[in-house]
Amino acid sequence: MKVLNHNLHSTEFYCFIQVAAAMLIRYSLDRWLFGLDNTGDVTKSLNRKHIVQQAKENLGSNIRLVTADGSLDCQLSPSEQEMIVYPLILAEVHIALSLLAKSGVFVLKMFTLFETQTISLLYLLNSLFKHVDIHKPVTSKPGNSEVYVVCKCLLAEVSDNILSLIQSALDTGGPLMSLSEIPRSFLQQVRTAAAKFKDMQEQTITENMSTYGTQVTFISNEKYAREYLSRMRLKPIPADQSVVVMSYPRTKPVKVGDNFLTA
Ligand SMILES: C[S@@+](CC[C@H](N)C(=O)[O-])C[C@H]1O[C@@H](n2cnc3c(N)ncnc32)[C@H](O)[C@@H]1O
């Protein structure tokens, strides 16, 4: 079950991605939830309630896996990324913990791990799940700060008190608890992880700057798309192996360079 904010961006830059996303949604509309106001915005309490209710109705109470990959464009204030995405991450955690059955797994995308808000959220997850690991998979660009928090084996169904605590933090934007309430050994582990991921990112950015210089070169999206298609040797997925069931005639293919993308 996927949840996303389907507000379409207006710039040409996102046009191609929007077309592909719109085609995917069109062919799998019955598997999407957009919340009560139909915006898909999970930071709104009414949408979260609606999504949780609908997901339980559709999937039953034994939900074993929730993934959350939300992010926002922070290019204009990269140094604020961690706090800009915090309400979205909290909202995703609120939904996941409202849905997951005992022993369930939650995978959450986060970014840098410096702020009290982030550290206290990690501590809460660490208290609720048997194992919590933070990964930077090879498929994640080394030059960005995204990491994946993998929480395995929820110890017990999450109580209303915990959900209310998260709701209060969502209302205020503050941390779930103060750092003084968190054991020093846990703070040390987060500090070590935060420094390691920061070092990896810093090293990649430094290497990129020495390779490409600091001058920004604009290469057309079409050129990138063409290069990607050729390097990855992408081929159409045979109809019988497609995840999305095609119940409509295929739409006109979108041309990217010399290649066509169809849904
Ligand atoms: C990295 S993309 C996720 C892509 C997704 N995993 C996929 O395969 O389509 C981040 C997504 O977070 C969504 N997002 C940002 N703010 C949101 C919000 N308040 N509520 C719901 N989704 C949001 C964005 O619209 C974007 O689609």
* Residue-wise pLDDT tens digits, 77-136: 999 999 999 999 999 999 999 999 999 999 999 999 999 999 999 999 999 999 999 999
CATH top-level class of 49-217: alpha beta
> Token digits for 213?
């210089």
69 is in an annotated binding site: yes
Do residues 74 and 117 make contact, with C-beta atoms less than 8 angstroms apart?
no
Ligand 1 midpoint to CA 69 (Å)? 6
Binned at pLDDT 50, 70 and 90, residue 14 comes out as: low
Binned at pLDDT 50, 70 and 90, residue 16 comes out as: low
Q: 18-29: string of b/e by CB count within 10 Å (b at 16+)?
A: eeeeebebebee
109 is known as an active-site residue? yes
Report domain extents, the chain: 49-217
Ligand 1 midpoint to CA 3 (Å)? 8
- Of the ranges 105-109, 224-228, 247-251, which is most confident? 105-109
Residue 146 pLDDT > 80: yes
Ligand 1 within 6 A of 4 CB? yes
Ligand 1 within 6 A of 87 CB? no
Do residues 57 and 41 make contact, with C-beta atoms less than 8 angstroms apart?
no
Q: What is the pLDDT of residues 160-192, one digit of tens each?
A: 999 999 999 999 999 999 999 999 999 999 999
**pTM listed for this prediction:** 0.80
Residue 33 β-bridge partners: 3
> Token digits for 240?
């019988």
